[in-house]
A and B are shown apart, each in its own frame.
Chain A
């Protein structure tokens, strides 16, 4: 014990002055920051907390990666996880704030993915890497937004179940159209066909860009975890600002009571269009990331069809409708889960589904929510407990 005390004293002697100066400066810097933070309104505080958590996780993962502690599986999952999170955030804007259930968001992701991959592939040898990726990103987002806009014009005349079904159909149309699209490039320029590869009439040295159901092969791999995290953080800021802007409040007013909103004089169609387009654009960003992370891109039911659309909806519902950070967490957990369950071999998809049911019940079943509150197991109670300790 004595040795320990001595050690403590001596370390205090050495560290003491250093710590004092550090804390002095830290106080100077941190206090105004903390004060500034305290002055912010509640949703902004939440946004900053989410962004800080993402940054912290990014830092931890980066350190683990550079020190070789990250498994290949995890390394491979980093970018897809961010891509799915982005699409979930996009859909949450639509479901949570516009109040419309869209089952076609995988379609917008698909548009973003294929547009950007097609661009990158076409200009692979013409434009250097960095500007090409930036243009591909912008282009993918813009075209996804355009599709969102075009689809929204007929779709938003409907509401509720009808709208959900029509978006589902549009998602499938996008997937199926891409599956019959043949695009090739040779010395004479670009060739298009909706029939098959032969009707392109290309030179022998020609290069297939989109080969129908075989999709795009050889997309340069440019999505990095850094880019993915930055885009995710940006998307969270954009959605946050949108939701709390004048337009966002109008969108929510329309969601809560369309007739009342119309009576006040809000241009309902315009606001709905804006929200739906933004939602599609964010899904498109996810698609761009996804496409530039994999060598071969095809549009199948599992990655861009209704299966994926429903999966994204599951992320949103599990994370909490209208809760953006929740969507991110749900997307991360549910993408990682089947991969971490690989040890269970053939039973893993069964177990995954059971875990999913369990998580849904734990998160949202009214009875369980009541039980959690009674036993102090909800988020506020847990955070509250930590706060108490800090005071003591």
Chain B
């Protein structure tokens, strides 16, 4: 009897755990059908909050939460509150599609994601098939928006950055011999590099060395630096993120190699790296749409609210994500929509609506979008002077 009772209890526990798993999903989808009183906008977010790229996902998640709380406090969008659900994708395509499906079960109407480009490509194909509107804060690869009329970017795209950098270097005659170090395992880094190289060739810049590293080996750059030095590069183009950037700068200094350093928007955050001698960053050029220590009112408010709530300084990913919610708000208000509309209706309205939006945000003035989903804002070069960003123009 005892054995039977025990096995009964165990099997009962197993069954309940199974049903609990199913129950979550069905409860979520039934809520969105429930239109009594508690009708809200259901905005979903996808990004890595665990794994190697977690810092970017965390920033985006926090910033969206911040924006959502602010909008809700101010009365919501068209009188309806926003509910926000963020799912982890570990920057992996398959996991990202799983996260998207989870959000769909929850009743998501608009997706603000994904954070990374690789995952973005996979999810964009899904949202395109489902007619779900997708606004990505930071997936900058053109493959995310190509062929998908429902996908829009808040950040500027990789080709844009590569071309602007090459133009800037050539036009201001910063150097003639350029060395490039890039992360070949990262679509963002190699995407920027590809357009940079194409544009550099057209502008007559001489790329004397292009050295790659991968995500598996990004702690030591002496080999790449040595090769650039040997090739006589007097400017280094570094299209990757600031964590690796700080290592490159430190190691170049140790080698006594002092070329002009030119980073792209990933270098934003360089000055906040712990245990990094900020003096080494003096004279580094970078492209950024957002600077956390900028003195304008909106940025100051955002940065202080972010620091107070989550700790740490927000980077440009977070700023893009924060802007994203307000961009959606503006487009939804212009289209005069309510959450009762179906996903398809919202999607169609936003596709048309976003092209009419002219938005002033943290990451740019007068942002507009074309029908491909690209944002108009131009990357601006700044140079680090006395531990702060200074405009170069």
Residues on A facing B (Cβ under 8 Å): 71-77, 80, 176, 179-180, 196-198, 212-215, 217-218, 221, 290, 294-298, 300-303, 336, 339-340, 342-343, 345-346, 348-349, 375-377, 382
Contacts and interface: CB of A to CB of B under 8 A. Distances in A.
A345 B24 CA distance: 13
A180 B184 contact: yes
B118 A300 contact: yes
B87 A198 contact: no
Contact of B185 (A77, A179, A382): A179
A296 B122 contact: yes
Contacts of A72: 101-102, 104-105
Nearest to B210: A196
Interface stretch (B33-41, B88-96, B222-230, B291-299): B88-96
Contact of A295 (B91, B117, B121, B186): B121
Contacts of B125: 218, 221, 294-296
B392 to A, nearest CB: 28
B94 A294 contact: yes
Contacts of B355: none
A215 B191 CA distance: 12
Interface string B183-199: 01111001101100110
Contact of B215 (A217, A221, A301, A375): A301
B83 interface: no
A217 B117 CA distance: 12
B25 interface: yes
Interface string B353-384: 00000000000000000000000000000000
A179 B184 contact: yes
Contact of A375 (B6, B190, B201): B6
A377 B92 CA distance: 38
11 contacts: A73-B102, A196-B197, A196-B210, A214-B117, A214-B118, A217-B143, A218-B147, A294-B94, A294-B122, A294-B125, A300-B92
A76 B122 contact: no
Contacts of A303: 92-94
A296 to B, nearest CB: 3
A31 B187 CA distance: 61
B275 interface: no
Given A73-B101, A300-B92, A346 B49 contact: yes
A196 B215 contact: no
A214 B98 contact: no
Contacts of B7: 375-377, 382
Contacts of B102: 72-73, 339, 342
| Shortest beta-carbon contacts, A-B, top 6 | A295-B125, A296-B121, A71-B25, A76-B101, A72-B101, A340-B21
A72 B122 CA distance: 16
Contacts of A302: 51, 90-92, 95
A275 B22 CA distance: 40
B42 to A, nearest CB: 14
Given A294-B122, A298-B118, A382-B7, A76 B193 contact: no
B22 A80 contact: no
Interface of B: 3, 6-7, 10, 21-22, 24-26, 29, 49-51, 87-88, 90-95, 97-102, 104-105, 117-118, 121-122, 124-126, 141, 143, 147, 184-187, 190-191, 193-194, 197-198, 201, 210, 212, 214-216
Contact of B98 (A76, A343, A349): A76
Nearest to B130: A72
> Interface majority SS on A: helix, strand, loop or mixed?
helix
Contacts of B51: 302
Most buried by A among B6, B184, B197, B198: B184
B126 to A, nearest CB: 8
Given A72-B104, A196-B210, A213-B185, A294 B118 contact: no
A74 B98 CA distance: 9
A368 B50 CA distance: 33
B190 A214 contact: yes
Contacts of A75: 101
A342 B102 CA distance: 8
B374 to A, nearest CB: 17
A275 B391 CA distance: 65
Contacts of B214: 176, 179, 213
A119 to B, nearest CB: 19
Contacts of A290: 94
Contacts of A298: 93, 118, 187
B10 A377 contact: yes
Given A73-B102, A294-B94, A294-B125, 19 more contacts: A71-B25, A72-B101, A72-B102, A179-B185, A196-B190, A212-B184, A212-B190, A213-B187, A214-B187, A217-B121, A218-B147, A295-B126, A298-B187, A300-B92, A339-B98, A342-B99, A348-B88, A375-B6, A377-B10
B118 A296 contact: yes
A126 to B, nearest CB: 19
A80 B94 contact: yes
A73, A76, A196, A290 — most chain B CB neighbours (10 Å): A73
Contacts of B95: 302
From A76, A77, A349, residue with most partner B Cβ within 10 Å: A76
A382 B125 CA distance: 46
Contacts of A213: 184-187, 190, 214
A78 to B, nearest CB: 11
Contacts of A348: 88
Nearest to B118: A298
A375 B3 contact: yes
B190 A73 contact: no
A214 B90 CA distance: 17
A296 B92 CA distance: 10
Contacts of B190: 196, 212-214
B118 A198 contact: no
Nearest to B99: A342
Contacts of B49: 346
Nearest to A180: B184
Nearest to B147: A218
Contacts of B97: 76, 294
A278 B94 CA distance: 26
